[in-house]
Structure 1
């Protein structure tokens, strides 16, 4: 059986250095880390995780809580998280909360029992009860696609208000003067209200468009079905609109489905711009113009922040606002 001494001998370092590298501690160069990790791979060294965790108090695991693990958004974020975690020799435990308080508390209890080294909380409001539970765990916490004004927790997200403003402004700059929006839940402080506000900000800059700020259909979520239903409601309310801002790509694609069944063509009869730049936005006909969130980078950044806090022995790092990007495709008619 290969031991830590065998790794140290072949890498020409001390066993203490190998241990520090395995436990993401400081005191070595990046070149030394790469050498040791290469030797570990060559020798197929499998450190005893239980023994190592008892000594270092680290389990080399990170807990990630998603409201919806099946969405493409979640899969891209998870890709970024896992790439960085793998780089540092850690594993990821994924929990599907379904935005349910009971299930979230249950998973937090489980992750506490598993003694995870850090937590990443994705796209959901950080309730007081969650925060208090996590405080008892005494581990680093990073939020993705959400933030908390009340609790000083580092986060990684885009500026949703600005991104929605960018989407609306794009329609205006392409000659659209009658614009509507299909939003998520207006009571959602994370992705609902800010995107609605960004839409209204862009419209308010032009006096000729100020009345359009009422052309908002509030849905419960950001799903394909919300888009199908929202498009029908919006056109009943405002049949003369020429452009739609959708609060997500799924909403946009659902709206396109309804428009197709109504005999309306995109973008000839109605232009649509989405939000997220999911893989499916390139697959629909016509390909969807949208606002891109760098989900893989967001996951990677959050994971890096966890390991930075573990190295430095702190629970605070600088939050990061990621840059959104307008992706031009074929769903917006330039009038």
Structure 2
């Protein structure tokens, strides 16, 4: 208080000035009376939030600001379904003016992914994308960003500095896997294998590169890293190709899986007569089961909850809807074993 006068809070007139519209339009939006196009209503809500307008008498329409999460998935992978559930749970705690819509598109339908990014059926203010590193997809993401949509990428970053990447340091994850594997298999000589989707995701390529580089730099020749198997995250194909590799080389002692198809991998390892030291990624109910049984030895988990929360917070921050700084550092990954596995999973 100064000179006996109270500092006033923001008014409808202030919001109108910030959004460059009339006060009547602001009142229509804040009182949910309709008749205002979505883009303009979105601008008014953003202005109100920027000015911290908090009059409870006003109840703007739910879901005016739409953020889409585009999850490109193989049919068989439970990881994407669990990530979808995580986004759903977090979105329920957001301001009611914000709608988080999840869309699933098949990863082998590149044209469909590009079309959806470039020409969505509904207006969106933000876009979170998990998709392969395809040049056409990357270009469509860049174009969406240039059109004013706030975009972030998960699992892979390919669209440039103006499109933040939310994820772990995949190269470091690969090196960590190689560190544990080489230490745990110290004194044993044999072959090490790796399995990934297909090389379509930069994250997977970086994990394999980190794994290979560490082994090249730190092993004395006892461990021969000889083969990367492409399982396309398909359980049947993963089982067939891993079984074939194990049959071809009876000196396999370690396996690093950087993608999915874990049920297929598990079935192949169960049928193999010798113990193979297995390090995988992403803690799901399936990987927890494999850890408890001793089939999988270590799981490197990227913390889905953190990925989803930071992705949404990054979009909201860039839209000006929250003023809390969001970390741009890589998400910290966790090393899970049967000994520190939560009983709730």
Tell me whether 1:28 sits opposite 2:52 in the alignment: yes
Q: Match for 1:305 among 304, 310, 314?
A: 314
**Aligned CA distance change for structure 1 residues 209 and 329 (closer, same or farther; 3 Å):** farther
The aligned residue for residue 294 of structure 2 is 286
Q: Shift of the alpha carbon at 1:231?
A: 1.8
The aligned residue for residue 193 of structure 1 is 205
Normalising by the residue count of structure 1, what TM-score does the alignment of the two structures yield?
0.73
- How far apart in 1 are the matches of 2:270 and 2:295? 14
Normalising by the residue count of structure 2, what TM-score does the alignment of the two structures yield?
0.72
- How far apart in 1 are the matches of 2:130 and 2:319? 20
Tell me whether 1:183 sits opposite 2:189 in the alignment: no
Q: Shift of the alpha carbon at 1:96?
A: 1.8
The aligned residue for residue 122 of structure 2 is 114
**Aligned CA distance change for structure 1 residues 307 and 207 (closer, same or farther; 3 Å):** closer
The aligned residue for residue 177 of structure 2 is 167
**Aligned CA distance change for structure 1 residues 245 and 187 (closer, same or farther; 3 Å):** closer
Q: Can you give the 5+ residue segments of structure 1 that lack an aligned partner in the other structure?
A: 1-12, 50-57, 331-335
The aligned residue for residue 321 of structure 1 is 330
Kept in 1, the 8 Å contact 2:270–2:295? The answer is no
Moved more, 192-201 or 300-309: 192-201
Kept in 2, the 8 Å contact 1:158–1:323? The answer is yes
Tell me whether 1:60 sits opposite 2:65 in the alignment: yes
Moved more, 204-213 or 143-152: 204-213
- Structure 1 vs Structure 2 CA RMSD: 3.5
The aligned residue for residue 249 of structure 2 is 238
* Secondary structure, counterpart of 2:179 in structure 1: helix
Q: Shift of the alpha carbon at 1:81?
A: 3.4
* Secondary structure, counterpart of 2:203 in structure 1: coil
Select the structure with the greater relative contact order (CA < 8 A; seq sep ≥ 6).
Answer: 1
- How far apart in 1 are the matches of 2:74 and 2:243? 29
The aligned residue for residue 87 of structure 2 is 81
Between Structure 1 and Structure 2, which shows a larger proportion of helix residues?
1
Q: Match for 2:239 among 225, 228, 241?
A: 228
**Aligned CA distance change for structure 1 residues 325 and 21 (closer, same or farther; 3 Å):** farther
Q: Shift of the alpha carbon at 1:132?
A: 4.5
* Secondary structure, counterpart of 1:212 in structure 2: strand
Kept in 1, the 8 Å contact 2:10–2:51? The answer is no
- How far apart in 1 are the matches of 2:239 and 2:128? 32
* Secondary structure, counterpart of 1:322 in structure 2: coil
Kept in 2, the 8 Å contact 1:63–1:119? The answer is yes
- How far apart in 2 are the matches of 1:67 and 1:173? 36
The aligned residue for residue 258 of structure 1 is 268
- How far apart in 2 are the matches of 1:194 and 1:210? 24
Q: Shift of the alpha carbon at 1:243?
A: 1.8
Q: Shift of the alpha carbon at 1:15?
A: 7.2
Q: Shift of the alpha carbon at 1:189?
A: 4.8
Q: Shift of the alpha carbon at 1:162?
A: 1.2
Q: Can you give the 5+ residue segments of structure 2 that lack an aligned partner in the other structure?
A: 1-8, 16-28, 31-42, 340-345
1:75-127 CA distances to partner (integer Å, 9 max, x unpaired)?
3433443444441322222222212222113323553x411111001143263
Kept in 2, the 8 Å contact 1:64–1:94? The answer is yes
- How far apart in 1 are the matches of 2:303 and 2:266? 24
* Secondary structure, counterpart of 1:192 in structure 2: helix
- How far apart in 2 are the matches of 1:253 and 1:69? 14
- How far apart in 2 are the matches of 1:62 and 1:238? 49
